[in-house]
C-alpha cells in the first residue's frame, strides 16, 4: 500500500520518509513520528505528505448496502512487453455482494491480482467499468481509502521497525483503528511484538502484512494470496480470523490458487482464467458442476471394529 523507506542519516538520526505510490490513492499519509520515538531532522519533515482524513465508522458511510462490494463490467487491460502484448484482463465481468467472503481462484497470470488492484485504484483499466462500494476508484480515492484496505502480494514496509511499533504507526493513520493488540493476538503475532520486521520469517511477515491491512477496521478487506508461505496451522488460524470478521459484517475479497482454501473459507468463488471470469458460484455449486457423478465417501465408525478373516 505504501512505499516506505528508513534512512540512516550521517548524524545517526533515524528519519522516516514516507510517500504514497504515485498510482495509488493513499496520497494522504502523515507519519506520527513521536508515537514510535523517532525524531527526524526538521528538513525531513517537509517530505511527508498531508495527513489522512479522519477514518469514519461504517455507520457514517455515505453509501447504502444496496450497491455491491465490487462490480467489474467488461474490464480490459493490456500490457506491451518486450516479449509481445499481454491481455491481463480480456473482458472481466463479475459482481461481489457485501458481507461475504469472495475468492478469486485461478492460476498464475490469470488476472486475479490485476483485477483486485483495479478495485482500489492501483491500476487503471483500458476500458470497462470498475465500481468499489458503488464508487469509481479513479474519482473517489479519498472515500475509498477510508473504507477499503488491501494486502498486496508485495508490500514495502518499514523493515527496521519492530512489529509492535509498525502496528502503532499504521494505527496512527486512522482516527478509529482496530486495537493493534487485538489483531496481533488473533493472528498469533504477539510474541513477535519486539522483533524487527527484517528478522521475521516469510510466513510471519505474511501474517504481519495481513495485520496491517486489518488495522484500519475496513468495510471491505482485499487480500491478495494471504495464505502464501503459511504453514497449515497458521493458515487455518487465518481462515478462522477471516470468517469471524465476515460474521461481524466485513466484506472480504481474496485471491488464491487453492480450491481447498476457497472451499474452506469462501461463500462465493470466481474462477478466473486468461483475464476473464469463466465460472462462478458457491464452492458446492462449482464442485457439483465440475466434479459431479459418483463419489466414494468415508465416514468414521463408532464403537469397536470387527476384523474379518480371509477365507482359507
3-state percent breakdown (helix, strand, coil) of the chain, nearest 5:
30, 25, 45
Query: Is residue 71 scored above 80 in pLDDT?
Result: yes
Query: Is residue 249 scored above 70 in pLDDT?
Result: yes
Q: How many angstroms from the chain centroid is the CA of residue 231?
A: 18
Q: What are phi and psi of 95, to 5 degrees?
A: -135, 130
pTM: 0.75
Return the higher-pLDDT residue of 75 and 28: 75
- What per-residue confidence (pLDDT) applies to 2? 34
Helix residue spans in 188-252 (DSSP H):
202-214, 232-247
The closest alpha carbon to 250, from 14, 15, 32, 57, belongs to 57
Number of H helices, E strands in the chain: 9, 11
Return the higher-pLDDT residue of 310 and 241: 241
Cα dihedral sign, 25-274-155-223: positive
Q: Measured between alpha carbons, how far is residue 17 from residues 8, 22, 180 in Å?
A: 11, 15, 23
Per-chain mean pLDDT for the chain: 80
Q: pLDDT digit string (tens) for 197-223?
A: 999 999 999 999 999 999 999 999 999
Is residue 241 very low, low, confident or very high in pLDDT (cuts 50, 70, 90)?
very high
Query: Is residue 87 scored above 80 in pLDDT?
Result: yes
Q: Render 242-308 in DSSP notation, one character per residue.
A: HHHHHHTT-EEEEEES-HHHHHHH-SEEEEEETTEEEEEE-HHHHHHHHH-S------PPPSPPPPP
Q: Specify the 3-state DSSP secondary structure of 116.
A: helix
Query: Is residue 48 scored above 50 in pLDDT?
Result: no
Exposed / middle / buried, residue 106 (Cβ in 10 Å: 0-12, 13-18, 19+): buried
Is residue 310 very low, low, confident or very high in pLDDT (cuts 50, 70, 90)?
low
- What per-residue confidence (pLDDT) applies to 154? 79
- What per-residue confidence (pLDDT) applies to 298? 75
Amino acid at each position: 500500500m505504501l512505499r516506505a523507506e528508513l534512512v540512516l542519516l550521517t548524524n545517526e538520526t533515524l528519519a522516516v520518509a514516507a510517500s504514497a505510490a504515485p498510482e495509488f490513492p493513499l496520497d494522504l499519509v502523515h507519519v506520527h513520528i513521536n508515537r514510535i520515538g523517532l525524531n527526524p531532522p526538521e528538513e525531513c519533515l517537509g517530505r511527508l505528505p498531508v495527513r489522512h482524513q479522519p477514518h469514519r465508522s461504517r455507520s457514517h458511510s455515505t453509501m447504502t448496502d444496496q450497491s455491491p462490494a465490487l462490480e467489474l463490467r467488461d474490464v480490459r487491460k493490456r500490457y506491451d512487453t518486450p516479449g509481445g502484448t499481454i491481455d491481463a484482463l480480456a473482458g472481466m465481468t463479475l459482481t461481489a455482494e457485501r458481507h461475504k467472503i469472495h475468492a478469486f481462484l485461478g492460476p498464475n497470470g490469470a488476472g486475479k491480482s490485476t483485477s483486485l488492484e483495479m478495485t482500489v485504484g492501483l491500476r487503471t483499466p483500458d476500458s470497462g467499468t470498475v465500481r468499489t462500494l458503488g464508487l469509481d476508484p479513479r474519482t473517489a480515492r479519498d472515500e475509498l481509502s477510508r473504507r477499503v484496505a488491501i494486502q498486496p502480494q508485495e508490500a514495502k514496509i518499514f523493515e527496521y521497525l519492530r512489529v509492535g511499533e509498525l502496528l502503532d504507526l499504521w494505527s496512527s493513520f486512522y482516527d478509529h483503528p482496530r486495537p493493534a493488540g487485538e489483531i496481533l493476538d488473533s493472528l498469533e503475532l504477539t510474541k513477535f511484538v519486539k522483533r524487527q520486521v527484517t528478522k521475521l520469517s516469510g510466513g510471519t511477515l505474511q501474517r504481519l502484512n495481513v495485520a496491517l491491512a486489518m488495522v484500519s477496521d475496513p468495510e471491505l478487506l482485499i487480500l491478495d494470496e494471504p495464505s502464501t508461505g503459511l504453514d497449515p496451522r497458521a493458515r487455518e488460524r487465518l481462515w478462522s480470523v477471516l470468517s469471524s470478521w465476515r460474521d461481524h459484517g466485513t466484506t472480504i475479497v481474496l485471491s488464491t490458487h487453492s480450491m481447498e482454501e476457497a472451499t474452506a473459507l469462501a461463500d462465493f468463488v470466481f474462477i478466473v482464467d486468461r483475464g476473464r471470469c469463466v465460472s462462478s458460484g458457491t464452492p458446492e455449486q462449482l464442485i457439483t458442476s465440475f466434479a459431479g457423478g459418483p463419489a466414494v465417501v468415508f465416514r468414521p465408525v463408532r464403537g469397536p471394529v470387527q476384523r474379518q478373516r480371509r477365507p482359507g
